[in-house]
Amino acid sequence: MIFSRNALWSSRRAFRFCLILLVSLAAGCTRYARRADLVIVNGPEPESLDPAIITGQADGRIALTLFEGLTRYNPTDATPLPGLAERWDISPDGRTYTFYIRTKAVWSTGEPITAHDFVYSWRRVLDPLTGADYAGQLYYVKGAEDYNTGKHKDPGQIGVSAVNDKTLRVELVDPTPFFLDLCAFQTLAPVPRNVIEKHGDRWLMAKPLPVTGAYTLVSWRINDRVRLQKNPLYWDAANTHCEVVDLIPCTVATTALNLYETGQADIVWDKELVPVELLDKLQKRPDFHTYNYLGSYFYRYNLNRKPFDDVRVRKAMALAVDKKRLVEKITRAGEQVASHLVPPGVANYKSPEGLGYDPDLARKLLKEAGYEGGKGFPRVDYMFNSVKTHEKIAVELQEMWARELGIQIELRNLEWKVFLQAQSRLEFGLSRSSWIGDYNDPNTFLDMFMSNNGNNRTGWKNQRYDELIRQANSKFDPNEREKTLQKAEILLVREEVPIVPLFFYVGQELYDTARFSGIYPNIRAEHPIRTIRVHKQPLEQTSLTGKLAANDHAR
């Protein structure tokens, strides 16, 4: 016989071998013997956990849990409370801050946290070689901008110094009313010098990793989870409630919802992770929470391109957009329509009204500009990155402009990096945009449209606007500052209109207040993990939240 038996036999053996291999592999992957006390679906996988270099919100939430700064956020309203600094003095002109660091404050490895740690960490952020995209958060400090932009090479000229081991002095360029807010932001948190110098880029994988925050890093497996454990040496460890916390990365809304609904996750706290289609149902549930959020959705005109160099065209298109339809039909989470850029609820500021919805006026303006009924209007594009919500909004806008003004707009969806490049190079007609505030102050929205700001991306340059913003920020009196900023915003959204705000984002989160307390809606969507408490027995909702809130204030 030509065909021997052993071939079949050997294939059987191969099969058995594969089976054994598979079972052993599958058995080997039972890694997490214990479910964490708290499991949170956190958003995209963190690109980094190094507080100096991260930009993502999901990354920031973890980094802040590990690394606390001079101040920390109040869980109820995200205002700054004393953190590693127990108190501070502010000079009468508002330009010099002296921070007194707690004597109790130690790294999780036991060494004391000193003012020198802060000096090192802030210099590190400002060193161009660190590659910190958020270095701008420190530009309010004297000499910081020049060091970061390479105008001088001497870190000693930066206005941050250690008076002694526990006293830090900071000199600012302007009286910056939101500086304490910035001190709670992750970019300004202290990082362990010796570990970074020893391990380089991979310092976060060091064991043990010295941290200053309420939790230490147990493991960080990419796309799997970040596991945190309570830091017993944290100065406020007595008020840290959960022992072990898992943060799960996830970018598919349905998957996040599945995890939450089956109890595999306790909290979903990324607004991108709530399926839009279900909002009407979810909004009737007590465990779904929406609230004002420090983010705006708008579109940019490219003023370097015809016909957007004509302010009448910009206004006409803005007036033809039925923003109410967008929030009711597309986003559907109770977003407020926006006529101005700065979201409502921001600290120390109330925005002036911008342009509303007025198709008749829109047609009139377009006629004046010479494009009656859309005749002769150049073919322009509306550019957006490939995300379903942006696409739906784009489709609506296209239809509105066609219907009201007779303008044909071409939709162009680009993948993210191409989109960003096209936007910064001004290779578009109209561009979808959004902005999330970096600190609780109108300046985080308004200064980006100054002529030389890298985030302007409209081709709009207005000296008066630049002057107003500069004036406002050098003012110490909050009322005067507010008025000047309002003048600037009027210029932006009512008179010049290089951008058209569409709506304000709302925070959207899933958690059951009967089982989890110590988590509160606030404009920053900032929920310190240390205050979250799990109740095995579901408790009365109202009284409990009230009591805990009172506790937190008292502290």
Partner 1 sequence: MYFLRRLLFLVPLALIISFLAFAFVRLMPGGPFDRERAAPSPEVRKAMEAKYLLDKPLLVQYWHYLEGLLKGDLGPSMKYRNHTVNDIVLQGLPISLTLGLSAFLFALGVGIPLGFFTAVYKGRWPDYTGSFVALLFFCVPALVIGPVLIMFFAIKLGWFPVALWGSPLHVILPTVTLGIYFSGRIARLMREGMMTTLNAEFVTTARAKGLNETAVLLKHAFRLGVLPVVSYSGPLLADLLTGSFVVESIFQIPGIGVFLVNSLFSRDHTMTVGLVLLYAVLLLVLNLIVDLVYTIIDPRIRYE
Partner 2 sequence: MSDAAVSVNALSLAAADTREHLSPNQQAWRGFRRNRPAIVSSALLGVLVLLVVLWPLWRTSTLSDLVPRALTFSPTELTDEPFSAPNPTHWLGTDANGRDILSRMFYGARISLVVGLVGAGVSLVIGVLWGAVAGYVGGRVDNVMMRIVDILYCLPSIIFVVLLMALVENQFRAWLSGTFSPQLGGLARMLLLFIGLGAVSWLTMARIVRGQVLSLRTRQFVHASRSLGAGTARILRRHILPNVYGIIIVYVTLTIPSIILYESFLSFLGLGIRPPQASLGWLISEGALQINPIRIYWWMILYPAGLLGLTLLALNFVGDGLRDAWDPRTKE
> Residue 448 corresponds to which tokens in the numbers above?
């980006």
| Phi/psi at 259 (5° precision) | -65, -40
Binding of partner 2 at residue 415 (CB under 8 A)? yes
550 binds, among partner 1, partner 2, none (CB under 5 to 8 A by kind): none
Integer Cα distance of 486 and 480 in angstroms: 10
Integer Cα distance of 484 and 442 in angstroms: 11
Task: Select the residue interacting with partner 2 from 387, 420, 539, 550 (CB under 8 A).
Answer: 387
Of residues 187 and 292, the one with the C-beta less far from partner 1: 187
Binding of partner 2 at residue 466 (CB under 8 A)? no
Query: Which element (helix H / strand E) includes 9?
Result: helix 6-28
Binding of partner 1 at residue 387 (CB under 8 A)? no
Of residues 15 and 476, the one with the C-beta less far from partner 1: 15
Binding of partner 1 at residue 139 (CB under 8 A)? yes
Of the candidates 512, 540, 522, the one whose C-alpha atom is nearest the C-alpha of residue 74 is: 522
277 binds, among partner 2, partner 1, none (CB under 5 to 8 A by kind): partner 2
Of residues 201 and 480, the one with the C-beta less far from partner 1: 201
Give Cα 128 to chain centroid, integer Å: 22
Task: Select the residue interacting with partner 1 from 134, 215, 297, 504 (CB under 8 A).
Answer: 134
Of residues 103 and 264, the one with the C-beta less far from partner 1: 264
* CB 503 within 8 Å of CB 327: yes
- Which residue's structure tokens are 């020198």? 116
Integer Cα distance of 71 and 169 in angstroms: 15
Of residues 222 and 554, the one with the C-beta less far from partner 1: 222
Query: Shortest gap between Cβ of 409 and partner 2 (angstroms)?
Result: 11
Integer Cα distance of 282 and 113 in angstroms: 45
Binding of partner 2 at residue 388 (CB under 8 A)? yes
Binding of partner 1 at residue 19 (CB under 8 A)? yes
Binding of partner 2 at residue 304 (CB under 8 A)? no
> Residue 530 corresponds to which tokens in the numbers above?
């240390």
Query: Shortest gap between Cβ of 148 and partner 1 (angstroms)?
Result: 5
- Which residue's structure tokens are 């960003």? 420
Contacts of 259 (CB under 8 A, 6+ apart): 41, 248, 250, 265, 268
Question: Which residues 447-506 are close enough to bind partner 1 by CB under 8 A?
Answer: 454-455
Of residues 243 and 396, the one with the C-beta less far from partner 2: 396
Query: Which element (helix H / strand E) includes 396?
Result: helix 388-405
Number of other CB atoms surrounding residue 347 within 10 Å: 17
Percent helix, percent strand, percent coil in the chain, to nearest 5: 40, 20, 40
* CB 356 within 8 Å of CB 494: no
Of residues 207 and 425, the one with the C-beta less far from partner 2: 425
Of the candidates 227, 139, 153, 217, the one whose C-alpha atom is nearest the C-alpha of residue 185 is: 139
Binding of partner 1 at residue 254 (CB under 8 A)? yes
Binding of partner 2 at residue 276 (CB under 8 A)? yes
Contacts of 418 (CB under 8 A, 6+ apart): none
Identify which range of 133-141, 275-283, 399-407, 500-508 contacts partner 1 by CB under 8 A: 133-141
Task: Select the residue interacting with partner 2 from 243, 396, 482, 512 (CB under 8 A).
Answer: 396
CA distances to 11, 112, 428 from 89, in Å: 78, 22, 48
* CB 430 within 8 Å of CB 300: yes
> Residue 355 corresponds to which tokens in the numbers above?
């342009």
Binding of partner 2 at residue 360 (CB under 8 A)? no
Binding of partner 2 at residue 281 (CB under 8 A)? yes
Integer Cα distance of 161 and 256 in angstroms: 45
Question: Which residues 23-62 are close enough to bind partner 1 by CB under 8 A?
Answer: 23, 25-32, 45, 47-50, 53, 55
Query: Shortest gap between Cβ of 443 and partner 2 (angstroms)?
Result: 34
Question: Which residues 207-266 are close enough to bind partner 2 by CB under 8 A?
Answer: 253-254, 257-258, 261-262
Query: Shortest gap between Cβ of 19 and partner 2 (angstroms)?
Result: 29
Binding of partner 2 at residue 540 (CB under 8 A)? no
Binding of partner 2 at residue 392 (CB under 8 A)? yes
Binding of partner 2 at residue 410 (CB under 8 A)? yes
Binding of partner 2 at residue 278 (CB under 8 A)? yes
* CB 408 within 8 Å of CB 377: yes
276 binds, among partner 1, partner 2, none (CB under 5 to 8 A by kind): partner 2
Integer Cα distance of 416 and 421 in angstroms: 9
Binding of partner 1 at residue 172 (CB under 8 A)? no
Question: Which residues 422-461 are close enough to bind partner 2 by CB under 8 A?
Answer: 422, 427
Of residues 138 and 253, the one with the C-beta less far from partner 2: 253
Q: Do the strands 71-73 and 80-82 form a parallel or antiparallel pair, or are they unpaired?
A: antiparallel
Contact residues for partner 2, defined by CB under 8 A = 253-254, 257-258, 261-262, 275-278, 281-282, 329-330, 379, 386-388, 391-392, 394-396, 398-399, 410-413, 415, 417-418, 422, 427
